[in-house]
A = this chain, B = another copy of it.
């Protein structure tokens, strides 16, 4: 990430009273703390102490079976040996890109996409491009996109699978936000339609807790060994503590009910944020998301999204500058990702008011500068 933006986001996070419309943090209220604590205590008192000991690089067998069973329910031919537990979805992406691509490879992405995937591609010397031809891979979030919070139509899914086949390209399917949804039922993953060319990524970070750092990667069978070697070289294994805790938690709690409750909760917050935006900052263009944590807002403001963020922080609100999600890294016209996930609604409404004031102040400063220049 851009150094200046990183610094601004840190300044924002340490500003007392600041309202954060930035970040992809889930609502802490939803963490099932008591149930997680009970599972921890059971895991840590197991005689073999597996929660505190080393494990195999592929991770906990019960968790892998759970992931495989959920994907089978969605139509994919997956068994537990196809699943590698990872240190969050981010590491699943790191393993996939390490095995699949050499420096200089071209990877097709949406024009706006998950910022840390773009950071990873850059660190690996990969080129994230909007093109769909002459690419070696597609990085995509078909079930629920980030930052827009939209689900691909069946037709879009079929077209993507077709294009990948024609280009002999692999697909990295990032399902991180898939379960947080209200616009449509959980779709069939691309994995179900092209098991040999789709690498599938998931996580507990959005539904349960990101602090656990447990995600997963489903790999085509011929790549299993190389993916495991890459995972092992990166950090040996995902942490045993959270894996054992989760394996216990998932047998004792109704994950589907929890996910449904979370989706209802986030939908309410999304509606309230969208309503406040429409009322207070009508000049922004955005759509009510179908899921996820965020709204993607576009403006006609020529300028610099980082400079606007600086003004916003002075007004007591933060957001994520659109450029970190954009393939072209453009700072202008200003776009932003606004999260409705972590702050309670009254604070979000107040945050939108502050953002409106920040935009007005930013425009005034721009006009003053233009007059000076004239």
User: Which residues of A line the B interface, CB within 8 A?
Assistant: 1, 3, 10, 23-26, 28, 31, 33, 36-37, 40-41, 44-45, 48-56, 86-88, 90-91, 94, 98, 116, 119-120, 122-124, 205, 209-213, 225, 229-230, 232-242, 244-245
CB nearest neighbor in B for A205 = B54
CA distance A211 to B245 in the complex (A): 12
A54:B24 contact, CB within 8 angstroms: yes
Q: A77 vs B86: C-alpha distance in the bound complex, in angstroms?
A: 34
Across-interface contacts of A1 in B (CB, < 8 A): 229, 232
* Chain B residue with Cβ nearest A209: B52
Contact of A213 among B50, B120, B123, B239 (CB under 8 A): B239
The one of B205, B211, B235, B242 in contact with A91, judged by C-beta atoms closer than 8 angstroms, is B235
A3: chain B residues at CB < 8 Å are 225
Hey, which chain B residues are within 8 Å of A237, CB to CB? 213
Quote the shortest CB–CB distance from A264 to chain B (angstroms): 20
Question: In the complex, A120 Cα to B230 Cα: how many Å?
Answer: 8
List chain B residues, Cβ under 8 A from A28. Answer: 48-49, 52-53
Identify 29 residue pairs between A and B in the complex whose beta-carbon atoms are under 8 Å apart, listed by A's number. A24-B54, A28-B52, A28-B53, A31-B49, A37-B41, A37-B44, A37-B45, A41-B41, A49-B211, A52-B209, A52-B212, A88-B235, A90-B235, A90-B236, A94-B234, A116-B232, A116-B236, A119-B229, A120-B233, A120-B234, A123-B229, A123-B230, A211-B240, A211-B241, A213-B238, A213-B240, A213-B241, A235-B235, A239-B242
Residue of B nearest to A26 (CB): B53
Q: B211 and A55: CB pair below 8 A?
A: yes
Bound Cα distance from A283 to B44, whole angstroms? 42
**Contact A119-B232, Cβ < 8 Å, known A40-B40, A53-B25, A54-B24:** yes
Q: State the CA gap A51–B33 with chains docked (Å).
A: 10
Residues on the B chain within 8 Å of A245, using CB: 241
